Amino acid sequence: MNLVVNGDAESGPGGTAEPVGTVTGWQVVQGAPALIAYTHGGGYPTASDPGPAQRGSRFFSGGNSPRTALLQDIALPATGTTGHAAVDAGQVRYAVGAWLGGYASQEDGARLSVEFRDGRGTPVALSVLGPVTATERRSRTGLLQRTAGSAVPPGARTARVLLVFTRTGSGTSNDGYADGITLTLTGVQK
């Protein structure tokens, strides 16, 4: 089960390139993102550009801010095969994934990080995906999949998911893009 709420930009306001003030499931901590429809056109990614095979109708963009950041704090399950006791025994693995990208040869990009924290809020591990460079995209508009995974560190009780879009060039659009953001936990058979 994906622990990230609205990791596919499908819920809440949006659908155009106009920035929104709120994003369902996320706290907007800087800038103003846009949740753009794949049918919008105008140089933005479309269903025929590189991206998720099973994409929904929208994706995240950095809007018009030089730096836009979205945050989600996720409580890890307390019980079960991925609960606290299993985490502390080193029996839980995580997988984080996202489709990240940008526009043509521009280096605007999106970066996703997951920071595991203990019960006091102290960071105990960090995983970072992206940004995807223009060279990696072959100077094409689109999104490429990035993944990482490892054991959930003993003592972890929450995961802080941070999605940051950065405009590197001139202009008004922050053309860092993201879609299909996931964080899953699995119990390890001993």
- Give the number of other Cβ atoms within 10 Å of residue 188's Cβ: 14
Q: What pLDDT digit, counting tens, does each position of 111-149 carry?
A: 999 999 999 999 999 999 999 999 999 999 999 999 999
Q: Is the pLDDT of residue 190 over 70?
A: no
Range 164-188 average pLDDT: 94
Q: Is the model's pTM score more than 0.75?
A: yes
SS3 label, residue 84:
helix
Structural domain boundaries in the chain? 27-187
Q: Is the pLDDT of residue 105 over 90?
A: yes
At the fourth CATH level, the homologous superfamily of domain 27-187 is Galactose-binding domain-like (2.60.120.260)
- Give the number of other Cβ atoms within 10 Å of residue 94's Cβ: 24
Q: Is the pLDDT of residue 171 over 90?
A: no
Residue 89: band (very low, low, confident or very high) from pLDDT cuts 50, 70, 90:
very high
